[in-house]
Amino acid sequence: MKPSIKQTRDLMGMTINVEIVSSSVTDADLDMVFSYFENVEKRFSFFKEDSEITLINNKKIKQDQYSKDMKTIFALAEKTKEETNGFFDIMAPDGQYNPSGLVKGWAIYNASKLLLKKGFDDFYVEAGGDIQVQGLNRTEKKWSVGIQNPFDPSQIVKIVYLKDAGIATSGTYRRGQHIYDPHDKGKLLTGILSISVIGPNVFEADRFATAAFAMGPRGIGFIENLDSFEAYMIDSKGMATQTSGFAEYL
């Protein structure tokens, strides 16, 4: 068992967990990661009047005045939009921009790059259920990641083993809400509760999980047709569908 430090902080309405397997982790290292998230919030939070995204949406900043990070996010958004045939679009019908489907994964990925730069090889960074894992855990095995039961967040329904990869889960349904077919009231309807996407990094996983979820049951097909990505989708009847390469991670 190797030494490791884990720290959890609640920032920006999310729980952020960082675990680093190393005997030389300092407070400064951990602060670096969490401050990075605070900076992301300052720039991207809708609930701050002076955040860059709020200023952009209030038309106070023009495109050529965007910060480097903001320009990066907008460029990534455009790329994702093309790759998903428009299912992923940060512009809402009213013209307001909401890049939140990208920012979380991108921020986690950047935070993990900061740790790599500091020389750490074995760690994970997790925020709001999206995770970037690097190297091995403290028992020198791949990181074991449980996929949450959308019917009960205290339970897990699948375990995957990851190394140097990202996993993001997108979902938005009431856990187990009973929804009936309006044409046949005795019948329960199916909807997608969550889709978990595994990819080479959490940024990619996050953006495709977001798009795949928006596609409903076709989302799993979208990921199936995407090289290097696997997914596990759970519907409101408790049925899970996985892409054909998903079993590699079991």
Partner 1 sequence: MNTHLKKILVSLFVISSFVIYSTYQRFGGQSNIFDNSRTRQTAAESYSDLYASFYKNQTSSNPPNLDQMNTKIDDGIVNNGLYKDGEYDGVVADAFYGTVQVKAIIQSGKLTDVQLLSSPNDRSYSIEINNSVIPILRAEAINIQSAQVDIVSGATNTSNAFIQSLDSALNQAKISSSPVSFLQASNNQINTSNSPVNIVSGATNIVAGPATGTLAAIKNHNGAVNIVSGATNVSTSSTGSSAIQNQNGPVNIVSGATNVSTSSTSGSAITNQNGTVDIVSGATNIGSGTASVDRSGYYDDDRENEDEYEDEYEDD
Q: Which of residues 3-32 bind partner 1 (CB under 8 A)?
A: 12-14, 17, 19
Number of neighbouring beta carbons within 10 Å of residue 122: 20
Q: Which of 30, 54, 72, 128 binds partner 1 (CB under 8 A)?
A: 128
d(CA 247, CA 231): 10
Residue 17: which H helix or E strand, with range?
strand 14-21
Q: What sign results for the dihedral spanned by CA atoms 114, 115, 119, 124?
A: negative
Asked if 97 interacts with partner 1 (CB under 8 A), we say no
**Shortest CB 24 distance to partner 1, Å:** 21
Residue 26 or 146: the one with the smaller Cβ distance to partner 1 is 146
Stretch that binds partner 1, among 27-35, 62-70, 113-121, 240-248 (CB under 8 A): 240-248
Q: Which of residues 98-117 bind partner 1 (CB under 8 A)?
A: 98, 100-101, 103-104
Asked if 156 interacts with partner 1 (CB under 8 A), we say yes
Q: Smallest Cα–Cα separation from 248: which of 202, 207, 194, 198?
A: 198
Number of neighbouring beta carbons within 10 Å of residue 244: 8
Asked if 173 interacts with partner 1 (CB under 8 A), we say yes
Q: Which of 29, 52, 122, 130 binds partner 1 (CB under 8 A)?
A: 130
Asked if 244 interacts with partner 1 (CB under 8 A), we say yes
How many CA atoms are closer than 13 Å to the CA of 212, on its beta-carbon side?
33
Count the residues of the shown chain that bind partner 1, applying the rule CB under 8 A: 95
